[in-house]
Amino acid sequence: MPRRAGGGRVPDGRSLRADRRRVRVLVHAAVATALAGALLTGSAEAARTPPRTGFETAAGARWTSPAGERSLLAALAGRGDGASVERIGTTEQGRPLRLVRIGGRRPGALTVLLVCSQHGDEPAAREACLTMVRDLGYARDPATRDFLARTEILVIPTANPDGSAAGTRGNSDDVDINRDHIALRTAEGRAIAAVLRDHAPDVVYDLHEYGADAPYYDKDLTVLWPRSPNVDDRVRDESKLLAARYVRPAAGSAGHDSGIYGIWTDPVTGRPVKQTAGDGQERILRNAAGVKHAVALLVESRVDPLTDAERADPAVNNRRRVHSQLAGIKGLFSYVGERRGEIAAATAGSRAAGAVDRGPVLLGGADNEDPAPGDVLARPPCGYRLTAQGFAAVGDELALHEVTSRPDGDGVYVPLDQPARRLIQLLLDARASYHLINGQADTAC
pLDDT tens track for 4-53 = 334 444 444 444 344 444 434 343 333 333 333 333 333 444 457 899 99
Same domain for 390 and 371: yes
* Same domain as 20, residue 80: no
Residue 47: per-residue pLDDT = 54
Residues 74 and 194 in one domain: yes
Local confidence band at 369 (pLDDT 50, 70, 90 cut-offs): very high
**Same structural domain for residues 326 and 377?**
no
186 and 127, same structural domain?
yes
Same domain? For 286 and 388 the reply is no
- Domain end: 327, 350, 373, which one? 350
Residues 253 and 336 in one domain: yes
Q: Which amino acid is at 344?
A: A
Q: Which of 3-12, 43-52, 123-132, 264-273 has the highest mean pLDDT?
A: 123-132
Mean of pLDDT values over 402-408: 97
Q: For residue 253, is it within any domain?
A: yes
Residue 190 falls inside a structural domain: yes
What is the pairing mode between strands 361-362 and 376-377? antiparallel
Do 420 and 398 touch, CB atoms closer than 8 A?
Answer: no
Examine residue 151 and state whether it is found in any structural domain, yes or no. Answer: yes
* Predicted pLDDT at 3: 40
- In the sheet that holds 411-415, the strands lie side by side as 406-408, 411-415, 383-387, 440-442
Angle between the N-to-C axes of helices 340-356 and 421-428, in degrees from 0 to 180, rounded to the nearest 10: 60
> In sequence order, what are the residues at sequence separation of 6 or more whose Cβ sits closer than 8 angstroms to the Cβ of residue 319?
59, 60
Q: Does residue 113 sit within a domain?
A: yes
User: Distance between the two ends of the chain, CA-based, in angstroms?
Assistant: 108
Residue 355 lies in a domain: no
Whether residue 390 sits in one domain with residue 324: no
Asked whether 3 and 10 are in contact (CB, 8 A), the reply is: yes
Cα distance between residue 76 and residue 99, in whole Å: 12
Q: How many domains does the chain have?
A: 3
Residue 50 lies in a domain: no
What is the arithmetic mean of pLDDT over 315-326? Answer: 98
At 258, the amino acid letter reads S
CATH of the domain at 144: 3.40.630.10
Contact 303, 117 (CB under 8 A): no
What average pLDDT does range 202-213 have in this prediction? 97
Q: What is the 3-state secondary structure (H, E, C) of 268-295?
A: CCCCEEEECCCCCCCCCHHHHHHHCCCE
| DSSP letter assigned to residue 229 | T
Q: What is the mean pLDDT of residues 383-400?
A: 98
Note the Cα 63 to chain centre separation in Å.
19
User: Could you give the angle at the alpha carbon of 387 between the alpha carbons of 383 and 392, nearest 5°?
Assistant: 105
Q: The pTM is what? A: 0.89
For residue 51, being part of any structural domain is answered with no
Among residues 362, 92, 416, the alpha carbon closest in space to that of 439 is found at 416
Same domain (yes/no): 329, 403? no
pLDDT band at 79 (very low <50, low <70, confident <90, very high): confident
Which of 175-189, 346-360, 391-405 comes out lowest in average pLDDT?
Answer: 346-360
The domain in which residue 410 lies consists of: 361-442
User: In this structure, what DSSP letter does residue 375 have?
Assistant: G
CA dist 189 and 69 (Å) reads: 21
Closest among 133, 341, 294 to 199, alpha carbons compared: 294
The 8-class DSSP code of residue 404 comes to -
DSSP structure string for 4-58: PTTSPBPP-HHHHHHHHHHHHHHHHHHHHHHHHHHHHHHHHHHHHSPPPPHHHHT
- Beta-bridged to residue 376, according to DSSP, are 362
Whether residue 277 is found in the same domain as residue 392: no
Does 205 map to a domain? yes
Q: Which residues pair with residue 300 across a beta bridge? A: 208, 222
17 and 140, same domain (yes or no): no
Of 331, 350, 369, the residue that ends a domain is 350
Closest CA to 212 of 257, 255, 244: 257
Regarding whether 65 and 136 lie in a shared domain, the answer is: yes
User: Which residues lie across from 4 on neighbouring strands?
Assistant: none
Contact by Cβ (8 Å): 91, 164: no
350, 383, 404 — which closes off a domain?
350
